[in-house]
Structure 1
Amino acid sequence: MIVVTAPAGNIGHRVVENLLDQGAELRLIVRDPSTIPEAVRERVEIVEGSHANADVVDRAFEGADAVFWLAPPDPKAESATAAYVDFTRPAAAALKAHGVKRIVGITGLGRTTPLAGEAGYVTASLAMDDLIASTGVHFRALTMPSFMDNVLMQANALKEQGKFFLPISGDLKLPSVATRDIAAAATRWLLDDSWTGQEEVAVLGPENISFNDMAQIMSEVLGRPVEYQQIPLDAYKANFLKFGFSDAMAQGMTDMADAKDHGLDLGVERTPENTTPTTFRQWCEEELKPALSA
């Protein structure tokens, strides 16, 4: 039995599809079962509720062999620590209580850099990993750079202004990964029952790429000019406050972006094992262009 958290999310729904394609027995923790397609609901066990709730994870982890763990976005949390570490405390207790063998988690890249302690969401996600590891469970923390799919968060700006905005240098080449490849990596680890111990596993995308490079590729794929514009950190934070983020969570996003601008995502050497296949051009053709045309 594999338990999947956040199964309706951008990564989680792909993990569910991949596991079902392989005939895995699944139990999903989901707040609203209607967000799961009926064809999927018919093939899985549902535990309704939040995976921050002790009773929910206690029921979900009973008899489980493996867990896919992802802390969902909580823009109104009182702190990044609350959103990641405190959210995960009930699950850590349930992992120990039920003797779950393995957990595969989604977390941030950057532990090996001096920036890890002041990187907002990433710092909190690494502390979450430490909490999970303290249970003694066999653990693979899949460490992520920025997602290609995050570009879709600026779909309106791309449509209306032909621009996208971040507080990171436009010429800095950084790893970027498609969520489809994250899900594929998670699926492989969840289906493999031979591994033990605790390790971080980077998932780096196919190449390092700058935001100016991304703008050029988007221009070519969309057939119209797209420009990247670097904005000040205070303007970046103000945008999150405008969309209802708590001050702490808006600051967490800002600190993470600032750390990335100073090399947070460049601390892991690229290897064939941590390089994934989907290029940014392929992602634009198959994901971005259809989304902007819809």
Structure 2
Amino acid sequence: MSIAVAVPTGNIGKFLLPKLLESGKKITVLTRSPQKLDPTIRERVRIQQGALEDENFILEATKGTEALHWLNPGNKKAEDVHGWYRLYEKSVSNAVQKNKIEFVVNISTIIPEVVEAGVADGIVHVEEYLNETDANVAADYLLNKNWKGKKIHVLHGGEDLTFEAAVKSLSAAVGTTLKYNYISLENFYEDLVAKGYIPCAINIPHTSLTDPKTGKFLSKEDLKLSFRNAGVDTDSLPEKIICYCNGGVSATVVVTALGILGIENIPVYDGSWNEWGKDENRPKSRLI
């Protein structure tokens, strides 16, 4: 049985390859940078060097392959994230169909970036553990051919944890005591709608100003339409406008959209509802 592995030098690939090699199967690695492979691994695998988004490369490199381990590498600099991943979609689907690859294990994951984010840095410990767990599961599927059709295997870790157990594990990883506070959906909804808003405020969802596929702002005409649908005529605005939200962040999206339309110098109330809502002396309108 021959197995091809994409992204063999990643956090999952480096755990996966030794497990596959232990089985004695023929392993082919698809990589742009073979020099990054561990020397002890490099001499035991068949190396195919090229770009995973290159349809012709993937088609040739996976000929004779019975099972394929696939993982899409990210690209932080891509202007169109969806377009970037569609390149891989084309290359792998083309190879699987034309080379009649029977078994494909596709890894889908969210990888946290460690950027000195305080307590959030602890996520990397969980990610490293999940990566090794992913490798174990992937190896089982690649080596055992007793499955068919489409199967999704969701991994939350080495075991199914309660929220309390997960918080305990995370606390140990980051060296800080974390707390878990459960709020039912009903209570969350009641709390949300009871918060209210500043009198005379108009709600403009920031998500209505951007393209959900690309994350980019809409065209000027579509921006005007979104504002108009919210009850705001951008061609006839009042003299004084202040944007706010819950914490002073999402409001900047509205300010930026107005700037695209040539409406500048719009202030953001940085305290926003977090400050206004706590002041008993300030007027408030309620949703219910």
TM-score range, shorter chain: 0.5 to 0.7
Three-state SS of the structure 2 residue aligned to 1:164 is helix
Q: Mapping of 1:244-263 within 5 angstroms?
A: 248=214
Amino acid at match of 1:164: A
Root mean square deviation of aligned Cα: 3.2
Three-state SS of the structure 2 residue aligned to 1:180 is helix
Equivalent residue, structure 1, for 2:144: 192
Instruction: List alignment gaps of at least 5 residues for structure 1.
Output: 108-143, 167-174, 229-246, 252-294
Matched, 1:39 2:55: no
Amino acid at match of 2:171: Q
1:18 is displaced (CA, Å) by 1.0
For 1:189 and 1:36, the matched residues in 2 are separated by 23
**Please, which of 124, 129, 132 is the counterpart of residue 180 of structure 1?**
132
Higher normalized strand content (fraction of residues): 1
For 1:12 and 1:49, the matched residues in 2 are separated by 17
Matched, 1:81 2:82: yes
For 2:7 and 2:35, the matched residues in 1 are separated by 13
21 and 84 in structure 1: CA distance in 2 versus 1, 3 angstrom threshold? same
Equivalent residue, structure 1, for 2:56: 55
For 2:162 and 2:78, the matched residues in 1 are separated by 32
Q: Mapping of 1:1-294 within 5 angstroms?
A: 1-107=2-108, 150=112, 153-154=113-114, 156-158=116-118, 163-164=119-120, 178-205=130-157, 206=159, 207-209=161-163, 213=168, 216-220=171-175, 225=176, 248=214
Three-state SS of the structure 2 residue aligned to 1:95 is helix
Three-state SS of the structure 1 residue aligned to 2:114 is helix
For 2:96 and 2:78, the matched residues in 1 are separated by 24
Q: Deviations over 1:56-105 (max 9, x none)?
A: 10121100001001001111223232232232202211111111111010
For 2:27 and 2:99, the matched residues in 1 are separated by 17
Amino acid at match of 1:76: K
For 1:249 and 1:73, the matched residues in 2 are separated by 16
For 2:91 and 2:172, the matched residues in 1 are separated by 44
Amino acid at match of 2:100: G
List 4+ stretches of structure 1 deviating above 6 A.
Answer: none
Three-state SS of the structure 2 residue aligned to 1:3 is strand
For 2:215 and 2:19, the matched residues in 1 are separated by 32
1:250 is displaced (CA, Å) by 10
Three-state SS of the structure 2 residue aligned to 1:202 is coil
47 and 208 in structure 1: CA distance in 2 versus 1, 3 angstrom threshold? farther
RCO comparison, higher one (Cα < 8 Å, 6+): 1
For 2:5 and 2:146, the matched residues in 1 are separated by 19
Contact kept in structure 2, 1:77 and 1:248, CA below 8 Å: no
Amino acid at match of 1:156: E
For 1:83 and 1:192, the matched residues in 2 are separated by 32
219 and 66 in structure 1: CA distance in 2 versus 1, 3 angstrom threshold? closer
1:194 is displaced (CA, Å) by 2.4
1:213 is displaced (CA, Å) by 4.3
49 and 219 in structure 1: CA distance in 2 versus 1, 3 angstrom threshold? closer
For 1:179 and 1:194, the matched residues in 2 are separated by 24
Higher normalized helix content (fraction of residues): 1
Three-state SS of the structure 2 residue aligned to 1:178 is helix
**Higher alpha-carbon Rg:** 2
For 1:165 and 1:212, the matched residues in 2 are separated by 15
Contact kept in structure 1, 2:54 and 2:91, CA below 8 Å: yes
Instruction: List alignment gaps of at least 5 residues for structure 2.
Output: 180-212, 218-288
For 1:95 and 1:218, the matched residues in 2 are separated by 40
Higher deviation after alignment, 183-192 or 32-41: 32-41
Amino acid at match of 2:64: G
Contact kept in structure 2, 1:78 and 1:249, CA below 8 Å: no
Q: Return the TM-score normalized by structure 1.
A: 0.53
